[in-house]
Chains A and B, each alone.
Chain A
């Protein structure tokens, strides 16, 4: 007996077996008809979910773009303040509060690899004016040091009060 013939025979036996079961238990080849509203309800819900997701996405893009604009102003401020056109500048949004829109930017004071020289950290916040924001203080870090309170020295300005151990 060929495989397809055997398979058909098995299927026929299967069908026979299913007939003994109540109709609601048998496997279906087509979906049961409902009141007709199910498709409409599902589609409406899908469209609503889609609108929420699209709104959230666009809101998030606008939010990220706003953050990027602020970071661009901060980087410009650091470069203007120090007179160095460096690109390896780290930006920390946590030290002064993650939702505060206040940032700490640290970069080398002389040419070198990332964090390879004495670093100058600036606390920057306020509105963007002429593409820059205000510097409210800062501190220095030794080469290769992370911005931890124990590493800071030479604190200056209002923002740095109480942030230097020495």
Chain B
């Protein structure tokens, strides 16, 4: 009897070995086709999903049709389904996906999106506008909104909501973006796209390295991050500076995971976190976890030195406003987006939206979560996992939730032993995608 059962299992295993590579190839193909569909249709222009932009993808024009919500959402859902299937296959003991094919797939997805128009967000034009304000017009982007350069060619592309808003990004990012302003609007746009692509490649290389050091399958790790539909379509598609922030974050994690840790490396890791925070402040949340976990002087010294250097450079370039990141964070924390969970819960409770008191409740909830995570880290819990939970908690409790915010914990989630973090991150991303589908159920024309 048991021999028969074993033999049956063996046959099933052999069959599964046979169809798994074909299924993986099919899912990879679906991911590529869905991304290509969005990019090619997006290049046709005149779409509510494609921001007004200089014509950088006209060479793809004429192949597709105008990108509407229906096609976009179907492509997004197909991507998500294919991604889920691919991840399930990649995480099996006998993965049918070879290293070479995983790298080819991830590279293909990134290059397809790189070649196309800016997707789903006007943020990159704000980055360019802030750079041009400083370089071309001699204005401080920390004290003026893009409206101050209304005659500049980039102004027409800046999102309506951001015309009056001074930059909320760190001084390091603003200084890094300054040379790009000299390239003109189209040149700067390509440079921003290239910067996001290279940052993504760097992040994936570091994810690979960290996964291998920690004994995880690096192929599954880079597939989870690099083939993620939100990462590819929203993050890279919008050329968001979150990609740079994640690169700095993973550089820090990578340094602490060296086989032979040293004070210099730990100080360097802390300095990388500070550098990330000087790009986008959110990543600073990693520092307390790193410091509590290491309990050495080196990360504190690294933090102080990098912060002093960054503050000095920020102050020299932009004055006191350039280093007042707290004010910028407070301002942005007051915004409310339709996709935020806080807004959804308000609707569930019969309220029209989020009230000021809700902001306070959410902040209190976030502080409690962070304190719990710090306590766990003090007791020896993995600081990388704690940092991932902290980033996830920040995005879930934020009233201003955008797709690229729920990417932050993903590279950390694939290099930690607490599998709940990866599940929770992917579940939050899945809910975000589900929240987009109402135009598919009732298309308004």
**Which residues of A line the B interface, CB within 8 A?**
4, 6-8, 10-11, 14, 25-32, 34, 42-43, 46, 50, 52-61, 63-65, 68-69, 71-72, 75, 87, 98-99
Also in contact, A53 and B441, with CB within 8 A (given A11-B260, A60-B435): no
- Which residues of A have CB within 8 Å of B382? 31
Contact B296 A57 (CB under 8 A): no
Chain B contact residues: helix, strand, loop or mixed: helix
Contact A53 B428 (CB under 8 A): yes
Our pick among B260, B396, B424 for the contact of A7 (Cβ within 8 Å) is: B260
- Which residues of A have CB within 8 Å of B444? 68, 71-72, 75
Among B98-120, those with CB < 8 Å from A are none
Query: Quick one: closest A residue to B440, CB to CB?
Result: A65
For the complex, give the distance between the alpha carbons of A38 and B443 in Å. Answer: 46
The bracket for how many chain B residues form the interface is 35 or more
Quote the shortest CB–CB distance from A23 to chain B (angstroms). Answer: 11
For the complex, give the distance between the alpha carbons of A87 and B66 in Å. Answer: 16
Contact A60 B441 (CB under 8 A): no
Contact A59 B348 (CB under 8 A): yes
Contact A68 B442 (CB under 8 A): yes
For the complex, give the distance between the alpha carbons of A101 and B376 in Å. Answer: 48
Contact B380 A31 (CB under 8 A): yes
For the complex, give the distance between the alpha carbons of A10 and B297 in Å. Answer: 13
- Which residues of A have CB within 8 Å of B437? 61
Closest 6 interchain pairs by CB?
A28-B380, A68-B442, A31-B380, A64-B438, A56-B344, A27-B295
Among B339-395, those with CB < 8 Å from A are 341, 343-345, 347-348, 352, 376, 379-382
Also in contact, A10 and B345, with CB within 8 A (given A28-B379, A43-B420): no
For the complex, give the distance between the alpha carbons of A32 and B378 in Å. Answer: 9
Also in contact, A58 and B434, with CB within 8 A (given A11-B260, A11-B262, A65-B442): yes
A-B contact list, 6 entries, CB within 8 Å = A6-B262, A14-B263, A27-B293, A31-B381, A57-B344, A61-B441
Also in contact, A65 and B441, with CB within 8 A (given A31-B376, A31-B379, A50-B424): yes
- Which residues of B have CB within 8 Å of A58? 434
Also in contact, A56 and B260, with CB within 8 A (given A29-B380, A32-B380, A68-B441): no
Contact B345 A27 (CB under 8 A): no
Also in contact, A98 and B438, with CB within 8 A (given A52-B345, A53-B428, A56-B347): no
- Which residues of A have CB within 8 Å of B262? 6-7, 10-11
Among B70-103, those with CB < 8 Å from A are none
- Which residues of B have CB within 8 Å of A59? 344, 347-348
For the complex, give the distance between the alpha carbons of A163 and B443 in Å. Answer: 32
For the complex, give the distance between the alpha carbons of A93 and B209 in Å. Answer: 52
Contact A46 B424 (CB under 8 A): yes
- Is residue B138 within 8 Å, beta carbon to beta carbon, of the partner chain? no
Per-residue A-contact encoding for B324-346, CB less than 8 Å = 1, 0 else: 00000000000000000101110
- Is residue B431 within 8 Å, beta carbon to beta carbon, of the partner chain? yes
For the complex, give the distance between the alpha carbons of A60 and B345 in Å. Answer: 8
Contact B296 A8 (CB under 8 A): no
Quote the shortest CB–CB distance from B200 to chain A (angstroms). Answer: 28
- Which residues of A have CB within 8 Å of B295? 25-27
Quote the shortest CB–CB distance from A6 to chain B (angstroms). Answer: 8
- Which residues of A have CB within 8 Å of B2? none
- Which residues of B have CB within 8 Å of A11? 260-262
Interface hub of B261, B294, B345, B424 (most chain A Cβ within 10 A):
B345
- Which residues of A have CB within 8 Å of B151? none
- Which residues of A have CB within 8 Å of B296? 14, 27
For the complex, give the distance between the alpha carbons of A14 and B357 in Å. Answer: 48
Quote the shortest CB–CB distance from A14 to chain B (angstroms). Answer: 7
Contact B445 A68 (CB under 8 A): no
For the complex, give the distance between the alpha carbons of A14 and B265 in Å. Answer: 14
For the complex, give the distance between the alpha carbons of A8 and B261 in Å. Answer: 8
Quote the shortest CB–CB distance from A109 to chain B (angstroms). Answer: 21
Also in contact, A10 and B263, with CB within 8 A (given A53-B341, A64-B438): yes
- Which residues of B have CB within 8 Å of A6? 262
For the complex, give the distance between the alpha carbons of A29 and B348 in Å. Answer: 43
For the complex, give the distance between the alpha carbons of A7 and B444 in Å. Answer: 64
For the complex, give the distance between the alpha carbons of A4 and B260 in Å. Answer: 7
- Which residues of A have CB within 8 Å of B431? 53-54, 57
